[in-house]
Amino acid sequence: MKPALIAITALLPLLATADQPEKGKPFSLFNDKDLTGWHPDIPAADQKKDLKPSFIIRNGMLVSLGRPLGHLITDKKHSNFKLVAEYRFPGKPGNCGVLVYASTPRALYEMFPASIEVQMNSGHAGDFWCIHENIVVPDMEKRRPRGKNQKWGGKQGDSRRILNLTDGTEKPLGEWNTMEIVCKGKEVIVHLNGVLVNHGTECTVSEGQIAIQAEGAEVEFRKLELTPLERK
């Protein structure tokens, strides 16, 4: 075999794994310059192609402008990872969330992709919202309020909200919060500013995309760092 072919053959295993994230090594989900690696899903843009963007990069930060309503979704799927998000509401308090294990777009209310949402809504950060998927927590009767004739689940009409373990863990408006989401198989663990705020098991999905919401309020993200973990 010619030397050039030998060299190429030797490189093939490296080329095959070059796009695979290294276990235990954190990397940023955005590049501080543009939205490479992400794609928006904004329902209103279906009818109005010149709609202003809901998500931008500003001063090296990923910013959800809040409107038009929709989601920014990673191109790639992820499983078994730790995601660290440093975020703040720079103006008024409001609503946002990080969706893990996202899949079918617009599965709920023709807006929300199938997923498990980790809530960032001011005053309720750390709640779970089940969106065409489901997850189990201890003290289900206490932490998953439901109305008459409702059932637990992720479909329209189900009781989809799971309250966090403790409110009051968010920083004052304008200050940076650190949310850590660990997804290991069918288990999702959430810490906010170093405090355990939710822990669910028996999740109905264990792989999917990651999504950020535009849900009415401007939110800045100075870090979205993902660390691949060993399979559970």
The pLDDT tens digits for 4-36 are 444 434 444 443 333 556 878 999 999 999 999
Q: Provide the pLDDT confidence category of residue 170 given band limits of 50, 70 and 90.
A: very high
Q: Band the pLDDT of 141: cuts 50, 70, 90.
A: confident
Instruction: Dump the DSSP string for the chain.
Output: --HHHHHHHHHHHHHHHTTSPPTT--EESS-SSS-TTEEEE-GGGGT-TTPPPSEEEETTEEEE---S-EEEEESS-B-SEEEEEEEE-SSS----EEEEEE-STT-BTTTBPSEEEEE--TT-TT-EEEESS--B-SSHHHHS---TT--BSSSTTSB-EE--S-S--SPPTTSPEEEEEEEETTEEEEEETTEEEEEEBS-S---BEEEEEE-SS-EEEEEEEEEE----
pLDDT at position 177, please? 98
- Could you report the per-residue pLDDT of 58-115, keeping only the tens digit for each? 999 999 999 999 999 999 999 999 999 999 999 999 999 999 999 999 999 999 999 9
Mean pLDDT of 126-152: 85
Which overall architecture, per CATH, does domain 25-228 show? Sandwich (2.60)
pLDDT band at 232 (very low <50, low <70, confident <90, very high): low
pTM: 0.89
Domain residue ranges of the chain, discontinuous segments joined by +? 25-228
